[in-house]
Amino acid sequence: MKTLSTEQPIQSKRSIRSLSLRIMGSMAVILPLSVALAQPIEPVNLLSMGDFAILAGSLISNIPTSSITGDIGLSPATGGNITGFGPNEVTGTIYTTDASGPAGSVAAASMLTTAQGDLTIAYNDASSRTPVPAGTFLNPGAGNIGGLTLIAGLYKFTAGLSIIGSDVTLTGSETDVWIFQIASSLNVGNGIHVILDGGAQAANIFWQVDASATLGTTCVFKGTILADQAISVGTGSSVEGRLLASIAAVTIASSTITVPELVITSVDHEILPNDFNLSQNFPNPFNPSTTISYQLPANGHVSLAITDMMGREVTVLVNDIQTAGSHQIVWDAQNFPSGTYIYRLEAGSQVSVKRMLFLK
């Protein structure tokens, strides 16, 4: 197995196309696998894609009957390229760029453009994480991790990644994060399971794929796939995660796709805030009101402002001293025009920004 600790990060085709976008990198500390400790890394911020089970660029096709829990979106291809879905297969919203989508779909071209832009940001975030993995985090299993047990951390594969022959186990706590940087394709064999152990959660697993991802039949897969090209899921497979393909198609067949929930247990059943966090507004898109929730780790001055896409402030929802804990506020936008808005939370030196879509 190669241990080229001086190797430079591979530039994906998507990164080359998207140099104008801000890459949201995050430093990580690599520890030897032999000491059985995880690399402390942050999850990939999916921005507006959090509610999507499937997002594709050219085609979304289904062989019935599948079960999708989460939203579906296709852009820039038109809604007529979403095929094979019956009326009861999607628990969520099907978003299209025009009115040619399946019955009940919602035309939201601007929102989908934003989502695809956020996919670029998230993909580049995952692909550019540093330090460059070395030792046991570089090409484990010589590119086939079937039969391995992997602790949390940042893993790099300088070619393709396969999970064949045996299941793979990801072991760690409920807050641990796995990011897999894959320089070519991801291939999961028929009947293979991604097994989570020790409290590990699918919401904290990210597979960044520089080409295409193929899941065989009757697989049980965990985590979000961020693919530059296509994603194919074989008959009877289930995914607790998201299928996010930038350029090409997502194809499924009698599959179960479920957006994962992040569940954090607390001491003595209390909610004890220890993080600064801004949640995605709900509902999103919305008309005319939406709820914004956030969490503060300490008492202090808080500002929550909304701007348009040109950066012009349209309203300030919060500008006051608030206590540590969970907060939420409703924005009624009935007097504002439809479009994409930015909401920005500031508390002390901490800042978080998200997008939301108002559709009248």
97-156 pLDDT, tens digit each: 999 999 999 999 998 999 999 999 999 999 999 899 999 999 999 999 999 999 999 999
Average confidence score pLDDT of the chain:
86
In angstroms, the CA 239 to CA 241 distance is 6
Contact 127, 12 (CB under 8 A): yes
pLDDT for 265 equals 58
Give all domains of the chain, ordered by start, each with its CATH number. 1-265 (no CATH), 268-358 (2.60.40.1930)
pLDDT for 184 equals 98
How far, in whole angstroms, is CA 61 from its chain's centroid? 21
Interstrand relation of 277-278 and 289-296 (parallel, antiparallel or unpaired): antiparallel
E strand map for 17-132: 52-56, 59-63, 67-69, 71-74, 82-83, 90-91, 94-96, 106-107
Contact 328, 291 (CB under 8 A): yes
pLDDT for 351 equals 84
* H/E segment holding residue 234: none
What's the pTM? 0.69
**72-81: long-range contacts at Cβ-Cβ below 8 A with a sequence spacing of 24 or more?**
73/108, 73/111, 73/112, 73/115, 74/101, 74/112, 75/109, 75/112, 75/113, 75/115, 75/116, 76/113, 76/116, 79/105, 79/107
Handedness of CA 143, 145, 148, 150 (dihedral sign): positive
Helices assigned H by DSSP within 192-301:
none
pLDDT above 70 (res 337): yes
Residue pointed to by tokens 């956020």: 118
What is the DSSP-derived secondary structure letter of residue 76? S
118-135 pLDDT, tens digit each: 999 999 999 999 899 999
